[in-house]
Amino acid sequence: MNAALPKNPFSTRFTRPEAVAFQCPAGNRLAADSLAKGESQKFAPLTAGETIAKGSLPTEHGVDDAAALCCRIVEQLKSAKYGLIMGPHGSGKTTLLYTLMPFLVAAFQIDGHARVRRMQLTMPLVDSFWSRYRHARDSARVVVDCLSGLPPGSLLVIDGVEQLRSRDLRSLLRKFRRRDVLLLATSHAKVDGLSVLHQTVVDVMLIQSLAARLLEDASPSVVDLVSRELQCRNLNARTNVRDLWFELYDIVQDELLVDSTNLKDGSDGGSIICSHGSQLASDFHR
């Protein structure tokens, strides 16, 4: 990798869930209808001087909407106790969790100390029956270990709960109830015993807004390249935004290899190539 290359706006340092503030789609109804009908949506061309100018993005994608959503999810979770954020692959579930965490930490405190723990389950690289079996078994054990260390009234957040076996999840829910610990999870589909608090969706306006923010420092040639690429795609509510960014990374990287002056500011080093490893991570938020 050429360390002299300017930064790639679709590097994981810019697109990973903790680096992107969650944005509420302006066209939730449109996205839901498109998902049902399988329709694509037209991507409006991006222009370097106007669309991506700071402060020129649509206000319906502002932080106020996301903050209001986070407050609503917290209140619903307090009532339901066992909640679910549901949505297809790459629709923003993990990004929403990162945006939601400060609200959860503030809401779930005991004697002034936050009692929230987050756990992310990531599928193994080797996709076989036995690897999935071992992963589900080991994940359930880790959840039990985390749960045993939480006092009553605490909250455990599990990102990717669908990776647990149904019988393990049923057993875990009984343990949650006995210990009086709340659960917030993400999944691609409904999970028995968990109330759906929010369903993430994707629409073309959301993709355009996210792409515009990532391209704020890009030259007109890179903006035009990405815009043309997106217009050629059938963007709809099934679009996996995470995979889309990976693909755009490769496209932009090829452009940078040809012309390393394609970004306005190339002073902060080389691009990052994402290493898609498999891990079972837990972060303790105090």
The confidence band for 197, taking pLDDT boundaries of 50, 70 and 90, is very high
Residue with tokens 């969790």: 97
State the pairing for strand pair 155-159/113-114: unpaired
Confidence band for 158, pLDDT divided at 50, 70 and 90:
very high
Bigger pLDDT: 6 vs 209: 209
The answer to whether residue 69 scores a pLDDT higher than 90 is yes
| Predicted confidence (pLDDT) at residue 172 exceeds the cutoff of 90 | yes
Name the helix (H) or strand (E) containing 120: strand 116-121
Reported as a single tens digit per residue, the pLDDT across 214-269 is 999 888 889 999 999 999 998 888 899 999 999 999 999 998 887 655 545 444 43
Terminal alpha carbon distance of the chain: 38
What does the alpha-carbon distance between residue 160 and residue 65 come to, in Å, rounded to a whole number?
24
Average the pLDDT over each of 18-22, 40-44, 216-220 and give the range with the smallest value. 40-44
Question: Nearest to residue 156, comparing CAs of 197, 101, 211?
Answer: 101
Q: Are 236 and 40 in contact (CB under 8 A)?
A: yes
Q: What is the mean pLDDT of the chain?
A: 79
Answer yes or no: pTM beyond 0.85.
no
Q: What is the pLDDT of residue 260?
A: 54
Report residue 27's pLDDT band, with 50, 70 and 90 as the boundaries. Answer: very low
Q: How many residues does the chain have?
A: 286
> Which of 93, 96, 90 is closest to 63 using CA atoms?
96
- CB 117, CB 148: distance < 8 Å: no
